[in-house]
Amino acid sequence: MDSSIVLFGPPGAGKGTQAGRIVNATGKPQVSTGDMLRAAVEEGTELGRTAKGYMEAGELVPDEVIIGLIEERIKQPDASGGLLFDGFPRTIPQAEALQKIAPVSMVIAIHVEDESIVERICGRFTCASCGEVYHDLFRPCKVRDICNSCGGTEFKRRADDSEETVRTRLSAYHSQTSPLEAWYEGQGLLRRIDGNHTIDQVGEAISNLLI
């Protein structure tokens, strides 16, 4: 398997927003554990039933569940050229498990202040057809209620995007996920990006890392 890239940062930092640009530049498929879990919840699978309560509460899903999910994902044929991990790993045990099964060449860490995160997440909505990510203020549809990408007219908001749950997710990030930055820095893999700029400016900074 070729090396993979990790897109790292707090909830609402802009990982999903920037992932498409990295996929286009590298050809590595995006693997979002959040999207995989939400699909499982919607389908009502055993995984979904396990994950639902944790996600609604804003807590992390247990490591063994997530590691099992990734072990299965990297067996797919499209993983041979490496993957773009979005929202994984989120704990040291997850990173240690990843280290054993797939090489990582770069960890892109997007930094955003907590208060901006609350504002970003509470204004987020996505196209129900293609998943394109929007924001009430920062990234509205070009034509009201019509998706820029696919022309879809139905949109949804995530159940865990309330202010109260965002604060729990942030606290999980600070206590369980942020220690990973030092872990990856120690391996010389960490690249920090200031995410407190416009979507295009952050995208450009990320593109410069990929040259």
Selected range binding ligand AP5 among 21-29, 60-68, 141-149, 180-188, rule: CB under 6 A: 60-68
Of residues 58 and 82, the one with the C-beta less far from ligand AP5 = 58
- Check residue 26 for interaction with ligand AP5 (CB under 6 A): no
- Check residue 37 for interaction with ligand AP5 (CB under 6 A): yes
Answer for which of 8, 11, 79, 132 binds ligand AP5 (CB under 6 A) is 11
Nearest to ligand AP5 by Cβ — which residue?
34
The DSSP code sequence of the chain is ---EEEEE-STTSSHHHHHHHHHHHH-PPEEEHHHHHHHHHHHT-HHHHHHHHHHHHTPPPPHHHHHHHHHHHTTSGGGTT--EEES---SHHHHHHHHHHS-EEEEEEEE--HHHHHHHHHTEEEETTT--EEETTTB--SBTTB-TTT----EE--TT-SHHHHHHHHHHIIIIITHHHHHHHHTT-EEEEE-SS-HHHHHHHHHHHH-
- Check residue 95 for interaction with ligand AP5 (CB under 6 A): no
Active site residues: 15, 90, 124, 158, 169
Least distance to ligand AP5 from the beta carbon of 80, Å? 22
- Check residue 134 for interaction with ligand AP5 (CB under 6 A): yes
Of residues 67 and 106, the one with the C-beta less far from ligand AP5 = 67
Q: Which two tokens stand for residue 132?
A: 């394109």
Give residues with Cβ within 8 angstroms of 186, minimum separation 6.
Answer: none
Answer for which of 111, 135, 191, 192 binds ligand AP5 (CB under 6 A) is 135
Pairing of strands 133-135, 155-156: unpaired
Least distance to ligand AP5 from the beta carbon of 124, Å? 3
Give residues with Cβ within 8 angstroms of 1, minimum separation 6.
Answer: 74, 79, 80, 82, 102, 103
Answer for which of 61, 95, 106, 109 binds ligand AP5 (CB under 6 A) is 61
Answer for which of 102, 147, 202, 206 binds ligand AP5 (CB under 6 A) is 202
- Check residue 199 for interaction with ligand AP5 (CB under 6 A): yes
The residues binding ligand AP5 (CB under 6 A) are 9, 11-17, 33-34, 37, 54-55, 58-61, 66, 87-88, 90, 94, 120-121, 123-124, 133-135, 138-139, 169, 195, 197-199, 202
